[in-house]
């Protein structure tokens, strides 16, 4: 099968390239390294593209811009696409504040271009969209919570497993990024329902792994680990550092994509993250890293939280597991931190050699 991966040099995209290439599929990757434009040298993904070129067998890279409608349509017409994995995005809700039109053009218009190209040329090809939990805006903050010593958590037992797909996406503050991704999310669903195409929105929590080019504006755990290893200063924004996220390794995200491609549905929506077991606050992540480094993480604190930021977000995985019972989390939070620290130490060693 020919599999198209957009954002193929990013965290999830590159994991998808590696995974499907290893299974013997031909993989086409679209990525024009807009992370360099968005985030500067720290966001540059060219190193990951080079890694893919050296480690894969049937991967072909195309430096195409998904905002260019005719170019994307022409690509689909020229290639027989069997499945689409759409990961390309402007991923930062902070950056979207200063670049709202770029954010919307990439996230919403780019997704529309891909969907329409797929509808015209390969309407039965499974279409996987890497959405985000930011489509819910700050509505999850309305869940009753309790402040504990190192984290915020849900007060009521009924909310223990976290946020389900029934959480509303309107009447809340999203950030411009959350709004553009919500527009794309709804389009992916509508193409599934209206045109009966096999589409899925995976609403990600904190997606991470050693291939993440994390920066302060995007990629919390990756950026924190880089800063901690280098002895630099990390800034906490609000909530006393007790805000909670559930971390999921990119490998487990792509395994869910694979499960959907093998047994697709129309207009599917799944929350995907590390779940309760892989949840941790910033303070708890500090403790994990400090235990491994044997020294404190240098940090500062800003009282003002990021606008629309979640206080506690844990992904309820029940719907995904019900539809794909063979899928589950294979990488614990400890595994993720150990792997990412090892990767960062090796990167630092190579840089100093």
Interacting residues of 262 by C-beta distance below 8 A, sequence separation 6+? none
* pLDDT for the residue 138: 94
Mean pLDDT of the chain: 93
Is beta strand 26-30 parallel, antiparallel or unpaired with respect to 127-132?
unpaired
Q: What pLDDT does 184 receive?
A: 98
The pLDDT tens digits for 24-69 are 999 999 999 988 888 888 888 899 999 999 999 999 999 999 999 9
Give the whole-angstrom CA distance, residue 284 versus residue 219.
Answer: 17
Domain extent listing, the chain = 2-352
The answer to whether 307 touches 134, Cβ cutoff 8 Å, is: no
77 — pLDDT class (breaks 50, 70, 90)? very high
| Residues 161 and 276 sit within 8 Å (Cβ to Cβ) | yes
Radius of gyration from C-alpha coordinates of the chain: 19
Q: What's the rounded mean pLDDT across residues 264-278?
A: 97
pLDDT in tens, 177-231: 999 999 999 999 999 999 999 999 999 988 998 876 666 656 678 888 988 998 9
Report CA torsion sign: 38, 42, 47, 52: negative
Could you count the other beta carbons within 10 Å of the beta carbon of residue 347? 14
Q: Is the pLDDT of residue 343 over 90?
A: no
Structure token digits, residue 248: 């999921």
pLDDT reported for residue 41: 84
Confidence of residue 98 (pLDDT cuts 50, 70, 90): confident
- pLDDT, mean of residues 232-246: 93
Q: Which of 31, 41, 43, 93 is nearest to 211 (CA)?
A: 43
94 Cβ contact list (under 8 Å, min separation 6): 175, 217, 218, 306
Domain covering 2-352 assigned CATH 3.40.50.720 in the classification: yes
With CA atoms as reference, report the closest residue to 94 among 220, 182, 8: 220
H helices of 162-237, in order, are 175-194, 220-230
Per-residue confidence (pLDDT) for residue 40, from 0 to 100:
87
* pTM, 2 dp: 0.93
């Amino acid at each position: 099968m020919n599999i198209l991966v957009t954002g193929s040099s990013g965290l999830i995209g590159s994991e998808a390239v590696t995974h499907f290439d290893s299974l013997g599929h031909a993989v086409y990757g679209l990525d024009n390294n807009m992370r360099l434009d968005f985030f500067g040298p720290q966001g540059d993904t060219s190193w990951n593209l080079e890694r893919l070129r050296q480690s894969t067998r049937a991967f072909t890279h195309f430096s195409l811009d998904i905002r260019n409608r005719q170019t994307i349509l022409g690509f689909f017409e020229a290639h027989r696409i069997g499945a689409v994995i759409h990961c390309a995005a402007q991923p930062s809700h902070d950056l979207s504040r200063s670049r709202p039109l770029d954010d919307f053009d990439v996230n919403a218009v780019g997704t529309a271009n891909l969907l329409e190209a797929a509808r015209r040329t390969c309407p039965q090809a499974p279409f996987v969209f890497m959405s985000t939990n930011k489509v819910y805006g700050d509505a999850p903050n309305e869940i009753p919570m309790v402040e504990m010593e190192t984290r915020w958590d849900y007060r009521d037992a009924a909310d223990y497993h976290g946020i389900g797909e029934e959480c509303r996406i309107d009447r809340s503050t999203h950030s411009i990024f959350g709004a553009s991704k919500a527009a794309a999310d709804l389009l992916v669903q509508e193409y599934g329902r209206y045109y009966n195409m096999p589409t899925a929105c995976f609403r990600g929590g904190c997606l991470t792994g050693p291939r993440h080019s994390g920066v302060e504006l995007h990629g919390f755990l990756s950026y924190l680990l880089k800063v901690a290893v280098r002895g630099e200063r990390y800034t906490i924004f609000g909530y006393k550092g007790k805000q909670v996220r559930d971390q999921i390794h990119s490998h487990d995200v792509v395994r869910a994509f694979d499960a959907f491609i093998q047994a697709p549905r129309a207009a599917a929506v799944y929350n995907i993250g590390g779940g309760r077991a892989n949840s941790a606050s910033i303070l708890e992540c500090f403790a994990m890293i400090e235990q491994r480094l044997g020294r404190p993480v240098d940090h500062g604190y800003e009282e003002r939280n990021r606008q629309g930021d979640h206080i506690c977000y844990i992904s309820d995985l029940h719907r995904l597991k019900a539809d794909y019972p063979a899928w589950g989390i294979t990488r614990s939070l400890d595994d993720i931190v150990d792997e990412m620290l090892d990767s960062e130490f090796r990167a630092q060693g190579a840089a100093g050699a």
